[in-house]
């Protein structure tokens, strides 16, 4: 890899992958829960919740980054408490970058999972109940497997969105080499320097390849899944 990529490129690539992976890991359980709430439950505040969840789609990423800073910054509402109680801070760390991209990718993930939850035939769940399965067993053995393609799609979308995240990340965790400088941020950085055209092109191609591989892999997986599900 060191022959193919410059140290700067390798660093940005690995960081991007790590951030994207963690972005999916933290947002997936919450995403499934939120999608389920939105798809299956009627409660006061339903509309508000869906507005909040989908807001990052339309709000400028810089605004999201700024709000995260206000909330999670060392003097932020939650951030100050986190720092005092546990000595944890996420500002200017790759974990912070994962949080920022998780929030940006969240609407895409929730939307994909929700659509697939809506498509699950509720009558199959009823049938399972009459066969003696409690709510949890029905969820795990019927609803979740039938939603799996949507969950996969949601995870891939969030992953891909994270690879491309720029605005919220640079606002919230800045652009620190080796810590928060993911591929898009690295690309931005080299463009700021004289003679940065060639390295920028290499980084752009790298980003492109990464995205294509992720989408192709998910497509293959989805095909296998659909076959498994017999739908």
Partner 1 sequence: MLSVDIAARLGDFELEARFDAPATGVTALFGRSGAGKTSLTNILAGLERPVRGRIALGDRVLFDAAKRVNVPPDKRQIGYIFQEGRLFPHKTVRANLTYGMGRLAVDKRAARFDQVVDLLGIAPLLERRPKTLSGGEKQRVAIGRALLSGPDLLLMDEPLTALDAARRAEILPYVEHLRDVERLPIIWVSHDVDEIIRLADHLVLIDRGRVTANGPLIEIINGPDFRTATGRREDGTVIETTVAAKDAANALTHLRFAGGELRVPGVNVTLGQRLRVHIMAKDVAIALDPPRGISVLNCLAGRVVGISDPDGANVDVEIDVGVRLRARITRYSARSLSLQEGLPVHALIKAMALDRTGRDMALSL
CA–CA dist 182, 162 (Å, integer): 10
According to CB under 8 A, which one of 29, 45, 87, 134 is a site residue for partner 1?
A: 134
Within 143-172, the residues that bind partner 1 by CB under 8 A are 145-146
According to CB under 8 A, which one of 142, 160, 185, 200 is a site residue for partner 1?
A: 142
CA–CA dist 68, 79 (Å, integer): 9
Residue 201 token pair: 């092109």
DSSP 57: G
Q: Judged by CB under 8 A, which stretch of 33-41, 66-74, 125-133, 151-159 contacts partner 1? A: 125-133
In the complex with partner 1, the residue whose CB is nearer, 119 or 212, is: 119
Three-state DSSP at 93 gives coil
In the complex with partner 1, the residue whose CB is nearer, 27 or 147, is: 147
Task: Check residue 228 for interaction with partner 1 (CB under 8 A).
Answer: yes
Task: Check residue 139 for interaction with partner 1 (CB under 8 A).
Answer: no
Where would I find the H helices in the chain? 7-40, 46-54, 61-72, 77-86, 94-119, 122-130, 135-138, 144-164, 167-173, 183-192, 197-229
Q: Judged by CB under 8 A, which stretch of 1-9, 16-24, 102-110, 142-150 contacts partner 1? A: 142-150
Q: Which positions touch partner 1 (CB under 8 A)?
A: 121, 123-124, 126-134, 141-142, 145-146, 228-231
């Amino acid at each position: 890899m060191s022959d193919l990529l410059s140290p700067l490129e390798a660093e940005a690539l690995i960081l991007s992958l790590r951030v994207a992976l963690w972005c999916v890991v933290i947002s997936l359980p919450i995403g499934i829960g939120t999608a389920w709430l939105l798809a299956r439950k009627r409660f006061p505040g339903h509309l508000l919740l869906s507005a909040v969840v989908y807001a990052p789609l339309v709000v400028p990423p810089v605004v999201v980054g700024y709000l995260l800073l206000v909330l999670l910054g060392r003097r932020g509402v939650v951030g100050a408490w986190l720092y005092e109680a546990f000595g944890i801070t996420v500002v200017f760390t790759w974990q912070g970058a994962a949080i920022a991209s998780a929030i940006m990718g969240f609407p895409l993930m929730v939307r994909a999972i929700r659509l697939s939850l809506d498509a699950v035939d509720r009558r199959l769940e009823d049938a399972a109940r009459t066969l003696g399965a409690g709510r949890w067993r029905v969820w795990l053995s019927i609803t979740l497997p039938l939603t799996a393609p949507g969950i996969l799609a949601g995870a891939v979308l969030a992953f891909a969105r994270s690879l491309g995240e720029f605005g919220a990340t640079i606002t919230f965790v800045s652009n620190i080499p080796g810590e928060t400088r993911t591929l898009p941020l690295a690309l931005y950085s080299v463009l700021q320097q004289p003679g940065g055209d060639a390295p920028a092109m290499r980084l752009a191609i790298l980003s492109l390849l990464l995205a294509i591989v992720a989408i192709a892999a998910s497509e293959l997986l989805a095909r296998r899944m659909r076959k498994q599900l017999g739908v």
